[in-house]
Structure 1
């Protein structure tokens, strides 16, 4: 008798290895049965909506390569969908595993459908952003059912995961208000939910109607990414009562989702000093039962506008080396403007470097092989092979082509004094001439 299932988690609990699990196992070099067992426990999520046939399935979580997400989408001030599609192509060029459409103006469904139809990467959204434009209602007039209807619309369109700020309930808001934050709530979705709750006097609709929400997500196998509405927006606010109180709620919501066979990811900080990152990763894994952890950065200082792809990559590498599974990229435009295509390129590369550095530290299977191939190419002074291994081939080639060394096997940094050239000759018993 053939067993039926609706979600990856449900299949895993039934002992079934789905095609998506098999794909993840092949990509990661891990036995498919190990993947299945971890999906069943919830420590790996495979976001894979039934309505996303172009998807190349990726796993996020225990023992896997660190994945990255690329945020894009239009705003009220910048409405060029073709530019956003160029950003999509840039993200896919560098093998980003996920793309989130955070469009927050007007009717966004046409772009989202086109994105799902063409993208092999996982697609995520924050339905809360789309509510005003989708429903053509002002925030205070939206009902709890309206919010659920928008989630269903996104699920039907094929998105693989949705960020839902369900942990911002009356209890966590009380902790937030009493903690006296410098930056209050910097989560866009979190601020909108908070404002709605204050205007209407109602409980968070995603918390109050969580079971109905899970029913929608179960039907399409949409992974819930439990959003951190109270993530710190500056280093002064990190690891405060509001952040931790919400995280406790997210842990409780995680088990409720798993009981209904809905996959879960947990979203995490924001801005945080270096010395707090490792502890925060452990707190999340403990409170949220080792669910996959998805972090924005964290940005390790607040003073570098224009360079926050760097502050984020520093924090992301430390976070992933200490348990984070999924890095949301940050571009140089963070805090300043909607990113350009070039900003997206730089943000993706910085995040990929951070992810790979963490994979090296964590001994992820195959991670060291890439570095070893580059090292062997450098030892041979084999420039074409170095370009083959470069994370950004175009930039590496442009740098080399921009100068004219006397010996084309070396670069203009050391020239005849190139240590690699010197050692290659010396170890062959050849004379080393610097003239």
Structure 2
């Protein structure tokens, strides 16, 4: 029986109890959220994972994506990326390799992390067709579903499945056009396959069969965003909204069949459209957990896109997004290094917390504690509350002042010390 089916029957599972304790909410709050389709808890019958609740009323979660490319296939480095993501505080991991031995890479990554691991089965199906038969358009429909089941058996907890691309979606894309083209690999693969073969997307036509696979292997379904904008001038266009319409309808069907489901959102969105996107996504999907990919809020800062995405993620979280996919400084430029993975996770964690300060008022308590610690020049308390204590300690120790109560920013003219002579706060 699935966790959704249990929740609908009024059963509070061990996973729900863990999430309730983590989040400081009641067990029944979590159960009702799962039963209503507003909360998911990715699990797998094939491996034990660090339990993580995603959805309404819970802390905004951060996903880190790793994986090889056709240019760089280095399994030890991917394992190190997984470890750095977990060390930096990522809540989940996505393994998105497009080069090398897909099965071996995923096995190694899963074996070296406690986090829930997601994937995109479509990548492997299309790339294997390209290697074997010369082009992605020769992908066999049966292989797509076979690979989905095989990846689930490896212990994958959630899967991005591109169900919302159909002839109506492609028609909207063709009629409106795009300034930035089609940037989703999954969206590009499936659209090319449909146009070449003059056939409908099998993930759409055989959605019932897909749900059977999800149920059998207890996988959380993430409705892929294949029409997401890759340039802010394409944000909230007809193709994106058409795909959302389809995904929202299918997400309802998945929940009815007791399959946990997440709905994915757009990638490049200017800040004045973020709130509208979150509201639209939530309303159309009946408040399913919303997975925001970034978003990137300006297209002219390559090398700093972790910061660009953090701006978008903070706003998205504050408006109600439940799940954030990190972006690294290398986005749009190169495959990220383990160090860049760590930086990307930290940037997104900060953004998620900033959003939660608005969405979940209780998360401001840590900021209040930091304010008190700084007022009292209590450095150990400051480090204890800091999101990255090791970095804070390192910076201070490298530039330790003569007067260890203060810091080298103000030196002898510390505002806190001056005022403390006259006021007792």
Q: Give TM-score, length-normalised by structure 1.
A: 0.94
Q: Please state how far the C-alpha of 1:84 moved relative to its aligned partner.
A: 1.1
Deviation string, structure 1 residues 211-238 (Cα, Å, up to 9, x no partner): 1010000111101100111111111101
User: Does the CA contact (< 8 Å) of 1:47 and 1:222 recur in 2?
Assistant: yes
**Correspondence for 2:260 among 263, 268, 283:** 263
Counterpart of 1:189 in structure 2 is 186
**Correspondence for 2:380 among 359, 380, 384:** 384
Counterpart of 1:62 in structure 2 is 56
Q: Distance in 1 between matches of 2:348 and 2:233?
A: 24
User: Does the CA contact (< 8 Å) of 2:92 and 2:115 recur in 1?
Assistant: yes
Map of 1:34-433 to 2, 5 A cutoff?
A: 34-53=29-48, 55-132=49-126, 137-138=132-133, 139-365=136-362, 367-427=363-423
User: Does the CA contact (< 8 Å) of 1:65 and 1:364 recur in 2?
Assistant: no
Structure 1 residues 244 and 408: alpha-carbon distance in aligned structure 2, compared to 1, 3 A threshold: same
Q: Distance in 2 between matches of 1:242 and 1:325?
A: 23
Structure 1 residues 195 and 370: alpha-carbon distance in aligned structure 2, compared to 1, 3 A threshold: same
* SS of corresponding position for 2:262: strand
Structure 1 residues 428 and 184: alpha-carbon distance in aligned structure 2, compared to 1, 3 A threshold: closer
Q: Distance in 2 between matches of 1:224 and 1:303?
A: 33
Q: Distance in 1 between matches of 2:361 and 2:120?
A: 30
Q: Distance in 1 between matches of 2:178 and 2:39?
A: 34
Q: Please state how far the C-alpha of 1:319 moved relative to its aligned partner.
A: 0.6
Q: Distance in 2 between matches of 1:421 and 1:362?
A: 35
Q: Distance in 1 between matches of 2:355 and 2:387?
A: 15
Alignment RMSD, CA only?
1.5
Q: Please state how far the C-alpha of 1:140 moved relative to its aligned partner.
A: 2.3
Q: Distance in 1 between matches of 2:424 and 2:95?
A: 56
* SS of corresponding position for 2:117: strand
Q: Please state how far the C-alpha of 1:428 moved relative to its aligned partner.
A: 5.7
Counterpart of 1:432 in structure 2 is none
* SS of corresponding position for 2:172: helix
Counterpart of 2:21 in structure 1 is 26
Q: Please state how far the C-alpha of 1:114 moved relative to its aligned partner.
A: 3.0
Q: Distance in 2 between matches of 1:383 and 1:144?
A: 60
User: Does the CA contact (< 8 Å) of 2:89 and 2:346 recur in 1?
Assistant: no
Q: Distance in 2 between matches of 1:199 and 1:393?
A: 54
Q: Give TM-score, length-normalised by structure 2.
A: 0.96
* SS of corresponding position for 1:78: coil
Counterpart of 1:17 in structure 2 is 12
Q: Distance in 2 between matches of 1:179 and 1:267?
A: 22
User: Does the CA contact (< 8 Å) of 1:21 and 1:32 recur in 2?
Assistant: yes
Q: Distance in 1 between matches of 2:143 and 2:400?
A: 63
Q: Distance in 1 between matches of 2:78 and 2:240?
A: 32
180-189 or 95-104: which moved more? 180-189
Q: Distance in 2 between matches of 1:129 and 1:425?
A: 65
Q: Please state how far the C-alpha of 1:293 moved relative to its aligned partner.
A: 0.5
Q: Distance in 2 between matches of 1:26 and 1:428?
A: 37
Q: Distance in 2 between matches of 1:163 and 1:364?
A: 31
Q: Distance in 2 between matches of 1:185 and 1:132?
A: 17
Unaligned regions of 5+ residues in structure 2, if any?
none
Q: Please state how far the C-alpha of 1:108 moved relative to its aligned partner.
A: 1.8
Q: Distance in 2 between matches of 1:325 and 1:52?
A: 25
Q: Please state how far the C-alpha of 1:161 moved relative to its aligned partner.
A: 0.4
Q: Distance in 1 between matches of 2:105 and 2:389?
A: 30
Q: Please state how far the C-alpha of 1:50 moved relative to its aligned partner.
A: 1.4
User: Does the CA contact (< 8 Å) of 1:68 and 1:98 recur in 2?
Assistant: yes
Q: Distance in 2 between matches of 1:130 and 1:384?
A: 49
Unaligned regions of 5+ residues in structure 1, if any?
430-435
Q: Please state how far the C-alpha of 1:69 moved relative to its aligned partner.
A: 0.2
* SS of corresponding position for 1:427: coil
Deviation string, structure 1 residues 170-226 (Cα, Å, up to 9, x no partner): 011111111121122111111111111112111111111111010000111101100
Q: May I ask how many residue pairs the two structures share in their alignment?
A: 422
